[in-house]
Amino acid sequence: MVASEPVHGQRRPLRGGLVTFGETMALLSATRTGPLRHADSLRLGIAGAESNVAIGVRRLGSEAAWTGRVGDDELGRLIVRELAAEEVDVRGAVVDPDAPTGLMIKERRSSATTSVLYYRRGSAGSRLAPADLDEELIAGAGVMHCTGITPALSSSARAATFSAVEIARAAGTLVSFDPNHRTALWPDDAEAAGVFRDLAARADVVFAGEDEAEMILGEAFAPDAAARRLAELGPARAIVKLAERGAVACAEGTVRSAGARRVDAVDPVGAGDAFAAGYLAGLLDAADPVAALALAVAVGSWAVTVDGDWEGLPRRSELGLLDAAAGDVRR
C-alpha cells in the first residue's frame, strides 16, 4: 500500500450521522437508447452504491460521510468534488498516486433494458485497506453502512469491511449491511453467500433482495418468512426488498409490509441504494419501523423517476411531489 493522505484536513467525529465506505467510480452514460457502439455522446458523472446512500441520507437532512480511495486524476477529483457539493463529508477520502480511478459505463440497450460495464480491476478504490478507516469517525456515527461490493474488490478491501464492522460494534455504532450482489465480482455464489452471511450476522440492519435473501439463508422463503429468518441471524431489523411490489421488514420481531408507490420508471439503477438511504435516514431520526419503511419506499420510488444513479434522490420537502398529477406545473 502506498503512502497517501486524506483529501481534507483533520478528521473529527460525525456527531450521530451516517458513515460509509467503498469504491465510487466515474460513470459514462450513453445519452441515447441502443447499442453502446452507436452512441454519439456520453454523459460524465459518478456512481457508487455507498456514496449513493450517503447522498440520499444527506439530502434527507442527516449528516453523512464517505471514505474511499480515488486516483490522482481528473476522475478522482470529480468524485470528491461532486460528493462535497452534495455536502457529504469527504475528509476520509484518500488520493492514491499509483492507481487510477475506476470507471463504469451505462448502456440503455432498449427502453426496458439497462446494462452496466465495469472497468475497475487494479483501481484505486479496490486498494481500500483497514488503515484507510477512521476509527473516530466510525465511532462517532449513528450508523455505519457497508455493502457486499467492497469485500469482493480485493483481500485488503474485504479486511477493511470486517474491520469497520468490528470498530462500529465496539463503539456502539449501528451496523447496516446491504449485499448489493454483483455476480461479476465474485468467483462463485458460494463464496459471496458465506461473506454475506457473516456480515448479516454482525449487522443491526440488513437489506436484501429476494435472491440475496435466498443466498444468505441457503433456500428460498416467502418474503415475510425470509425477513424473519434473516433477523434470526442477529440483526434487529431485516428488510426484504420486493422492487415494484414494495418491501417486507422484520423489526424487533414484528413483520410489516409496505406496498410500492406507483410511478413512471425511467431508470431503475440506484433504486436499492435510495431505499436504504430512506430507511437509514428514518432510523437516524428515531422514526418507528413503520415510518422508516414508508420513507424507504418513497425514496426508492423517487429514484427510478429520474435518469442517473443518485441525481433524482429527493429532499424531504419534495416527497409529496410523488402524488402530483401528470403534467403538474408549479410556478
- The CATH number of the domain holding residue 215 is 3.40.1190.20
Count: domains in the chain: 1
* Nearest in space to 66 (alpha carbons), one of 101, 90, 42: 90
Q: Hey, which residues are catalytic here?
A: 273
Task: Answer whether residue 298 is part of any domain.
Answer: yes
pLDDT-derived band at 8, boundaries 50, 70, 90: very low
Is pLDDT at 186 greater than 60 in this prediction? yes
In a domain, 122, yes or no: no
- In tens, the pLDDT along 78-118 reads 999 999 999 999 999 999 999 999 999 988 888 777 788 89
Among 50, 20, 15, 57, residue whose Cα is nearest residue 296: 57
Residue 153's domain comprises 49-93+129-312
pLDDT by residue (tens digit) across 209-220? 999 999 999 999
327 confidence band (pLDDT: 50, 70, 90): very low
Distance CA 83, CA 56 (A): 11
pTM value? 0.91
- Sheet containing 103-110: which strands, arranged edge to edge? 42-47, 25-30, 103-110, 113-119
- The verdict on residue 283 lying in a domain is yes
pLDDT of residue 13: 46
pLDDT at 208 over 70: yes
Select from 299, 300, 297, 304 the least CA-distant residue to 318.
299
